[in-house]
Structure 1
Amino acid sequence: MFPPSSRSSPPFPPLPPSPPPGGEGGKGGKGGEDREDGGNTEPAAEGGRGRALSAAALNLSGLAVGYLYLRRWRRFAVGLGGILVLIAFAVGTEAPGGAAVWGPLFLLCVAVMVADARRLGRTGPDPRPVWLPPAAAAVLLALVAFGYLWYSGLPEREMGRADRAHAAGDCESAVEHYEAAVSPRHALAFHSLREVSALGVTSCEVMIRAEATAARGAHGEAADGYRDYLDLHAGRPPWTGAEDRLVELRAAHADDLTGKVREAAEVMRGTDNLDAGLVTEAFDARVVLRGEHPDTDAAAGVPAGLDDLYDAATPAVGSAEHCAAVGQLWAVTVLPGNTGLPDEWVEGDAERLADRAREPLPAELRDCAIDRYGAGDIRGALDRLAELVSEFPDSGPADDAPETLEGFRSDLHDSLDGEAACEVFDDLEALTDLPSALEGGGFARIPDRATDSLGEAWFQCGLGAYEAGDHSRAGEHLERLLEEQPDHRRADRAEEILIAIEIERITESGTNELPPPSVSGSGPAGTASVTIINDSDQPLEILYTGPRTGKSSLAASGSSGGRCLSQQGKPTVTLSLPPGSYQVVARASGGGFVTPYHGTWDLRGGTSYGDCYYITDAFSDLIEP
């Protein structure tokens, strides 16, 4: 038996010192890592596989979070910065090439970061707890995926807003959303909405411009814009009210044109013609409503609108402005030939309006001719009568046209009094040469009567000028009468006035004195008989004016003449004149420089007078023995 206190166990040998964490050979701290902070860079012992997978999984999100896990700050900044730069570049360039280019590029960047994180994560201890890094990686990946899904849906959502605004007719808002849908910030959504957006923007801008144009009152241009809008959508636009708006604008345009026709017609005066093209344009604008929008109220109102157009175009019909009425009615009568619309659209309305215009036109043409004559435009009057007879030969006014024309001539003839006759030469000459439409038939007698009246006008004008002392002008018109109408009843009187004018002209230019004739005996009671003998080698002309005016010629007496020593067989003339005072001129009419002789003869009734005249040579005066 051993005593308890006398025996003891030998002591345990001492334990070797533990290696410092994370290294071997007594090296502690962070040995084995490739440190980026300037610390020990010696390789450490291999860590767990979980750390590498955790870092790789965290980088799978593309956010470089695995580098944060590994505490590789520079790599985190470079990785995340590179991804952001790539995103910014893709957005800035609107991702040319689309998903086929940028999808693999982003995946490649992520793959590089995943592989790099996995490599770096092989050093160091496994994570505690083990599930935390993969869970965080899954959450990040889910957030990135859901974020991208939300982002990729942005263009479609903007497009939906645009379509709803467009369908409501709010194109201003729709354009904003259409443009937002294809904004560069949505480039990485890799959508296919560009063509749809471009169509929406284009059509909406057309509508906006059309409405702005309509606000200025240019309804026709606005209607063209809406027509383009409908064509862009093949007749099925997002805004279903476009068709109704087009009809509304076209109806307003037709009203505008009718108003323009009314304005143009109301300011017409005299022989102005209404613009037939404007009337046709207004007609076509109204009829198009029926042709292109047949089931609308505007189409049903086309006939009434055309009647309003007729009234707008013809305000002068039935008024005192007959020539204006003619110009207005003609513009309506040409509608059937001017409109280019299909017959099934026109439905006979062009002919209906034209027939309505033709009904009052003959009477208006006749009254316009009367108005033009009254205004001093005889040729305008003849043109209107020619139109009347040509276009409406079977009308009552056409039957009365010869009487109307004779009324013009008769009125002109009645106005032939002195100087007033000088103003109607052109009018009467126009009546002597009528337009071809006014020849023959009841018009045949008018040119002859007008010719006679024209001769009377020349005479009256010449007489008035003579009495006013304008002998030059008087001679011009009287001589024209004798030249063109020598058989006119006024021809003899015109010749007498011309003789008196010639006597006065000769007297004023200087003459020698012609003594009164010698009394040779008695003669018939109430008559003065004057016998004149020419015994010169030049023919003589005796001009006289007084109770009677006339002239007489005597042939030359032989080759040399004599001195009235033998008067037998000499050229002789005997004048039987009413008694009274006469101005007489005797002049040589065969040439040479013989000064005429002038004298005043007081002839008594029942008395005979006689004298013989001769010339000593061509430069001598006419002398009386």
Structure 2
Amino acid sequence: MGFLNLSGLGLGYAVLRRWGLTLACLIATGILLVVALPADPNGIPGALLVLYLILLVAAAAHGAWLGLRTRLAWLPSALVAAVLSVVLLAVPAGGYVWYDQARDEATQQMLLDRLAEADELVKENGTMDFEAAEPDFRKALAIYDGLTTDHPSSRAAAQVPERLRTYYTTVSAAYTAEQYCQAVAPLKYLRTVPRTMDEKTLGTLSTWPDDRLATSLYECGAESMSADSSSWTTQWDELLTTFPRSEQAQKVGSAIDAEVSDAVKAVDGSDPCAAVERLDSLSTQIRGVSGEEAGLTDTLDQAADRAHRNAASGTYDCGVDQYKDGSFSEAVTTMNTFIKDNPSSSKKSLARKVAIAAEVAQTVPAAGKRLPTTRSGGSITVTVKNDSPDNITVLYTGPVTGSFTLKACGSCSTYSALGSSLGFNTKPCSDTSKNYPQKTIQLPAGTTYFVHKSQDGIGNTPASDTAKLESGYIYTECAYTTSFGY
């Protein structure tokens, strides 16, 4: 009877016609089934299972004790009862096997649900900006990793390699769309995946991002350079140090040479000043790129030097363009820079004349209507005297352009502007007893524009004079100061 009770159905008690105890066994087994079904991956609560086993053993022992004290005439023999008991033991044993299989299936379904959760995270974030999507991408990757690490033999784990291929292509969607600058960050992230996931699971995905990242760094740098953004140096520097022997890295040198060549050509174009500025920037930026690991040090140095040389020589074209546009102040600064940076240039003399003419034109705009030439001398004598207590610089432009300085007149003084306007003052440079500092120059016929500038800062505003010179005459220019300037 004890064996019959081990079935959990109270069959031993039923044979003995102890219906109350039979019902108690059925209730206990029913409670166990209610808790156990449907099968859960975590199985039956341990405390309940232990209690049920205690009750089962107690029922078996009690049934055996009762069976020894009760004669059952309707059973054919004790042997048949024993055989029946053994057969009935197959019920709980079979139930255990069935439940174990059901629990394993429940576990498999749970893991598949977990896999589906990761898949959904990847899908939902596939069209989002990577920075915003990265936390969910990392969460999905952690789920994939957990499936292969903790449940390697599960059906879900078997599907992870395929899911990872989808994961990689989704994360790097910007690369597929040829949005190379946006693709850099996600591809750099994918290169870190082998640090957290078994490379056997990743397979060829371990190196999958490398070539794509090299391409993205190169193309993004090219885009940035074309857009005149300085960020190209960061992208190409990273390319040359991370993938120094890649095909993409070897393209950097020729791309930089081509950019410098384009800027050099642009010096002769419609906006030489922009081209010079571009060359200056390129020279500095190229020197910030590390080409040592890629074997491009000499190539980059040569490109930087070429950009610098052409920026220096192109300053002349920029100054001429500024002069023609009427930006005389900028033209003066630019030409003086050219003279300083190119002391042996054949254009140095003309650059100096353009700077002088531009300075004259700042005071007399009509003087800047035409570009000066290297022409010098003439048949007309012009004497310039200084009736001023200041050292002065005399600048002139017209058919010829030049400048010179005159020392201060020690016995001269400043004229009263008010007196001059009322006609009370003596005419400047008319005192024959004074030895005025002077210089005589030869000029051709035509209109010459003069500007006299104090070197001592007493006269803050340059004075000017427009002289229409004709052959057969001798001319005198007089420089003097008033209380309000020349």
1:244 deviation in Å?
A: 1.0
Q: Secondary structure at the match of 1:324?
A: helix
* Structure 1 partner of 2:452: 586
Change (3 A) 1:167 1:540: closer
What TM-score, normalized to structure 1?
Answer: 0.50
Q: Secondary structure at the match of 2:452?
A: strand
Q: Tell me the amino acid that sits aligned with residue 169 of structure 2.
A: D
After TM superposition, list the pairs within 5 Å mapping 1:29-68 onto structure 2.
Answer: none
* Structure 2 partner of 1:404: 255
Structure 2 CA distance for aligned equivalents of residues 312 and 332 of structure 1 = 11
Using CA pairs under 8 Å that are at least 6 residues apart, name the structure with larger relative contact order, 1 or 2: 2
* Structure 1 partner of 2:234: 383
1:525 deviation in Å?
A: 8.9
1:256 deviation in Å?
A: 2.2
What TM-score, normalized to structure 2?
Answer: 0.63
* Residue deviations 1:282-331 (CA, integer Å, cap 9, x gap): 44433433322222343333333322322223344465433234344222
* Structure 2 partner of 1:16: none
**C-alpha contact (below 8 Å) 1:333/1:358 kept by paired residues:** yes
Question: Please, what is the CA RMSD of the aligned residues?
Answer: 4.7
**C-alpha contact (below 8 Å) 2:391/2:456 kept by paired residues:** yes
Structure 2 CA distance for aligned equivalents of residues 399 and 536 of structure 1 = 68
Identity of aligned residues (%): 22
Q: Tell me the amino acid that sits aligned with residue 465 of structure 2.
A: G
* Residue deviations 1:122-163 (CA, integer Å, cap 9, x gap): xxxxxxxxxxxxxxxxxxxxxxxx998689678626514413
After TM superposition, list the pairs within 5 Å mapping 1:361-376 onto structure 2.
Answer: 361-376=213-228
**Structure 1, unpaired ranges of 5+:** 1-145, 176-180, 182-191, 197-234, 509-523
Change (3 A) 1:565 1:164: closer
Change (3 A) 1:273 1:451: farther
Q: Tell me the amino acid that sits aligned with residue 156 of structure 1.
A: A
After TM superposition, list the pairs within 5 Å mapping 1:128-207 onto structure 2.
Answer: 156=28, 158-163=30-35, 165-167=37-39
Change (3 A) 1:273 1:367: farther
* Structure 2 partner of 1:301: 159
After TM superposition, list the pairs within 5 Å mapping 1:237-386 onto structure 2.
Answer: 239-260=103-124, 262-264=126-128, 279-317=137-175, 320-337=178-195, 339=196, 341=197, 346-350=198-202, 352-377=204-229, 379-386=230-237
* Structure 2 partner of 1:447: 304
* Structure 2 partner of 1:542: 394
Structure 1 CA distance for aligned equivalents of residues 460 and 158 of structure 2 = 97
Structure 1 CA distance for aligned equivalents of residues 156 and 169 of structure 2 = 19
**Structure 2, unpaired ranges of 5+:** 1-17, 56-98, 366-375, 414-428
Q: Please say which structure displays the higher CA radius of gyration.
A: 1
Change (3 A) 1:418 1:291: same
* Residue deviations 1:319-375 (CA, integer Å, cap 9, x gap): 5433234344222222223x2x5xxxx144557424222124333322221112223
Change (3 A) 1:527 1:330: farther
1:408 deviation in Å?
A: 2.3
* Structure 2 partner of 1:487: 341
After TM superposition, list the pairs within 5 Å mapping 1:393-542 onto structure 2.
Answer: 393-416=244-267, 417=269, 421-422=273-274, 425=277, 428-429=280-281, 431-433=283-285, 434-437=287-290, 440-454=297-311, 464=321, 466-469=323-326, 471=327, 474-476=328-330, 478-479=332-333, 482-483=336-337, 486-488=340-342, 496-507=353-364, 528=380, 530-534=382-386, 536-542=388-394
1:614 deviation in Å?
A: 6.2
Q: Secondary structure at the match of 1:263?
A: coil
Structure 1 CA distance for aligned equivalents of residues 30 and 176 of structure 2 = 65
**C-alpha contact (below 8 Å) 2:108/2:156 kept by paired residues:** no
1:386 deviation in Å?
A: 1.0
**C-alpha contact (below 8 Å) 2:380/2:445 kept by paired residues:** yes
Change (3 A) 1:400 1:538: same
1:555 deviation in Å?
A: 1.8
1:248 deviation in Å?
A: 0.9
Change (3 A) 1:484 1:350: farther
**C-alpha contact (below 8 Å) 1:362/1:395 kept by paired residues:** yes
